[in-house]
């Protein structure tokens, strides 16, 4: 079981790093409830991967409202009992917005975000998963999601760099930074055991978990 002080854990990182798989495995191992992104429900996402400039704003706004609604449900005790593990962090939405939106679109998005974000609950712990861009590329290709075929190497590199910058300044919750190049708790049981043990020993607001390749 995870420490009781971590009743709500958010898992974050760039596309292909293993957020959702880890969320599922960690929740199953620890008896937690899952709160997962629903990208398949976003009608703009496939078009965004083909034409990011044209479809960035509707894609971004759909995800924003979807995530705010999901997080608002955390406050309803009849829906959630006990610990919750999510595969997204609302705060990182602005990361994608700055990466994909034109200046006027970004201003509109930020105005909307300022209105809806206060409804969202803050996690007790964030697990930030890292991996080099070439590892992300290999994992995206391996999982074979058709709409992701249009994701380019340059975009994944840009996204990984944006995550690094975002979490360098993030102080909204305690963060455990996990290098998944050699340590892969999303796929290996022994690595999941190591991660759970590491979470149990957390004491600071920002710590790092890394195994040498």
pLDDT in tens, 34-79: 999 999 999 999 999 889 899 999 999 999 999 998 888 887 766 6
Candidates 51, 78, 87, 103; catalytic one: 87
Count of domains forming the chain: 1
- Measured distance CA(176)–CA(126) in Å, rounded: 6
Angle subtended by helix axes 93-100 and 153-169, to nearest 10: 130
Per-residue pLDDT tens digits for 152-188:
788 888 999 999 999 999 999 999 999 998 888 988 8
2, part of any domain: no
1 belongs to a structural domain: no
Q: What is the pLDDT of residue 60?
A: 95
DSSP one-letter string for the chain: ---TT-SEEEEE-STTS-HHHHHHHHHHHHTPEEE---GGG-TTHHHHHH-HHHHHHHHHHHHHHHHHHHHHGGG-TTT--S-EEES--GGGHHHHHHHH--HHHHHHHHHHHHHHGGGSPPPSEEEEEE--HHHHHHHHHHHT-GGGGG--HHHHHHHHHHHHHHHHH--SS-EEEEETTT--TTT-HHHHHHHHHHHHT--SSEEEE----
Can 87 be counted among the known catalytic residues? Answer: yes
Residue 66 lies in a domain: yes
The CATH number for 66's domain is 3.40.50.300
In a domain, 48, yes or no: yes
Identify the pLDDT of residue 213.
52
Residue 194 is predicted with a pLDDT of 93
Q: Is 154 exposed, middle or buried (0-12, 13-18, 19+ CB in 10 A)?
A: exposed
Q: What is the pLDDT of residue 206?
A: 94
Any domain includes 59: yes
The pLDDT of residue 79 is 66
- Decide if 3 is inside a domain: no
pLDDT value for 19: 94
On whether residue 160 sits in a domain, the answer given is: yes
Q: Which domain holds residue 134?
A: 8-209
């Amino acid at each position: 079981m995870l420490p009781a002080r971590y009743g709500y854990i958010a898992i974050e990182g760039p596309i292909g790093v293993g957020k959702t798989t880890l969320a599922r495995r960690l929740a199953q191992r620890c008896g937690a409830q899952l709160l997962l992104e629903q990208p398949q429900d976003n009608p703009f996402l496939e078009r965004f991967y083909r034409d990011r400039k044209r479809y960035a704003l509707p894609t971004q706004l759909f995800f924003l409202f979807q995530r705010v609604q999901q997080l608002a449900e955390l406050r309803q005790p009849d829906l959630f009992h006990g610990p919750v593990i999510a595969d997204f962090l609302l705060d990182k939405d602005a990361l994608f917005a700055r990466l994909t939106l034109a200046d006027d679109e970004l201003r509109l998005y930020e105005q909307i975000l300022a209105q809806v974000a206060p409804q969202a609950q803050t996690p007790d712990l964030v697990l930030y998963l890292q991996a080099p861009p070439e590892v992300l590329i290999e994992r995206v290709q391996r999982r074979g999601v058709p709409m992701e075929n249009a994701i380019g190497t340059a975009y994944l590199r840009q996204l990984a760099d944006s995550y690094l910058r975002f979490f360098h300044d993030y102080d909204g919750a305690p963060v455990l930074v996990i290098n998944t190049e050699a340590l892969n708790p999303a796929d290996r049981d022994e690595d999941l055991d190591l991660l759970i043990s590491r979470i149990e020993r957390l004491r600071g607001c920002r710590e790092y978990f890394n195994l040498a390749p």
